[in-house]
Structures are given as C-alpha cells and as structure tokens.
Amino acid sequence: MEIKSVGVIGAGQMGNGIAHVMATAGFDVLLNDISQDALDRAIATIDRNLERQVHRGQLSEADKADALSRIRPTTALAELGQLDLVIESATEKEAVKSGIFESLQPHLAPHTILATNTSSISITRLASRTDRPERFMGLHFMNPVPVMKLVELIRGIATDQKTYDLCLAIVHKLGKTAASSEDFPAFIVNRVLVPMINEACYVLYEGVGDVASIDSAMKLGANHPMGPLELADFIGLDTCLSIMQVLYDGLSDTKYRPCPLLVKYVEAGWLGRKSKRGFYDYNGDEPVPTR
C-alpha cells in the first residue's frame, strides 16, 4: 500500500502544521474542522508559513503554490473516510478524540489507516474505540511542526508491523526523524519535558524565584533555548496540565502531581500565548512576566 491522500482532523496550531508539511511533501491533504473560521485561519497561517520558507530559500514560489493547491479544507468529517491516512489532531482530551473516531468510523474505507497526534494519551485505549486497532498509530509531531525535526511513533498493543512501517516511511518522506516509543503515558518527549515545566511552576509557586529569574536561569545556566515558563506559555498551559494529569493518573506517582499554581492559571483562563496571558502577559509589544 502507498499513502497518497491524508486527512487531518483539527485545524489548530498542530493540525495546520501537519497539513503544511504533508502538502509540501507531495501528499493530497483534506483539512477538517467543525469551524469554517478555524479553517480559514489555518489556510492563512499555512500561506504565511510557506511564504516564510520561500523568503529563506527553502521553497520556490512554484513549490508554495503547489503545496497550497494540495490542501482542501472541509467541515464534513465524513469526507475523510475514503483517504489513505487520517490523523486526528484535536484538543488533548480523550473523550473528544474518542468521539471523533467513533463519528468517523461508519465512513471509513477498509484500507484507511488511523493515527492520532496525541502528546500523552494511551494509543491502545484510543485504538480500542475503533474497528481497526491493528491499523492505528500514534504520530506525535513536535510544535511548531514545519520547523521541528522529530516525530514520535507510538504503537498500540494491537498495531501491526505493516502500519508501523508505512508511518515510518511517511516520517522519512517528510524529511523528519522518527523516535519509537512504547505506549506509556506521555511517551518520551513529554514524559521528560512536561514534569520539568511542572517543577518550574513549583519553583515559582514556592517563591524560590520569579518568572524572569527562573527562565533566565534555565536559558543561561542549562543552555535551553527557551525558559520552562516561556515554553509552557508557547505549548499552552491547558495542554501542560492535561499531560501532567495523564502522567499522574497513569503512573500513580506523586512526583507527577500537577502544581496547584498551574491549575489556577488554567482555571483563570490564563493559557499562555493563545489567550494572551499566562506566565507572561502578551498584550503589549513585549511579553511581561505576570509574577
């Protein structure tokens, strides 16, 4: 089997990035969202990001036009059912993801492979909600998708070798590097990264340092390109909290207990860059620490 057509469910930051890289690699892409406004914003974002690649000499104008022509937006989930591969990239909530797969199932072609871009949720459990757990994979792209080179490949307990090999070939065609992970909570990257962010939240919560000091310490003392609180705002504090909750629930270890301050920020709707306020306030010309 050769993968030629790809569906992407969810036109947010991750979904539009996945559509972008799939189209530039030559796949025909159907981008789905329940909101036409979200789809319009996604196409505009992809256009801007492709233009940025043109300015950097990474693509020609013809390449950009070709990539954009390969992406078709739709609000009709059923249209994705006959494609070769469908990647779900909706919000990091298991009930939402399971509901999407259940809604898509009656429309699926026998050959269609299903994948999820989840950053933490059990692949085995999501696969069990479908009629094809053997053709179900975790394809976890890093953010921002057009820039980051890694894709985590996660097999569920039932995933067959052919499905894994096809997904691995796609990662290579995208010019990215695959890291294979077992199906444990948060996989590899977020199992290491998000607890570090959570610990930075505790350092702030306990008054050991303020936002600026914590981020400066890790950038200059550990040579990190972004401080952990700045990174949390970039990822989305709600996503960070969801991953910590998956780790805490899945591994039953108190070292994964979400920081109460992180919980409060999410309860307040302070989700980071996407809400213009998190550990930094983004309403002005320059981000300003909120603590």
Per the annotation, binding residues for NAD(+) are: 10-15, 33, 92, 97, 119, 143, 274
Q: Is 198 a catalytic residue?
A: no
Instruction: Examine the residue annotation and report whether 190 is marked as an active-site residue of this protein.
Output: yes
Catalytic residue among 16, 49, 190, 198: 190
* Sequence-ordered strand ranges (E) for the chain: 5-9, 28-32, 71-74, 85-88, 113-116, 136-141, 150-155, 177-181, 280-281, 288-289
- Annotated catalytic, 94? no
Which residue is catalytic, options 20, 49, 122, 140?
A: 140
Catalytic hit among 20, 88, 120, 152: 152
Q: What is the CA radius of gyration of the chain?
A: 19
Cα–Cα distance measured from residue 215 to residue 201, given in angstroms and rounded to the nearest whole number: 11
Residue 35 has phi, psi (to 5 degrees) of -110, 125
Which of 119, 120, 122, 242 is an active site residue? 119
Strand 113-116 vs strand 28-32: parallel, antiparallel, or unpaired? Answer: unpaired
**Binding-site sequence positions:** 10-15, 33, 92, 97, 119, 143, 274
Residue 140: active-site member:
yes
Taking the CA atoms of 187, 190, 194 and 196 in sequence, report the sign of the dihedral they define.
Answer: positive
CA distance 227 to 203: 13
- Known catalytic residues? 119, 140, 152, 190
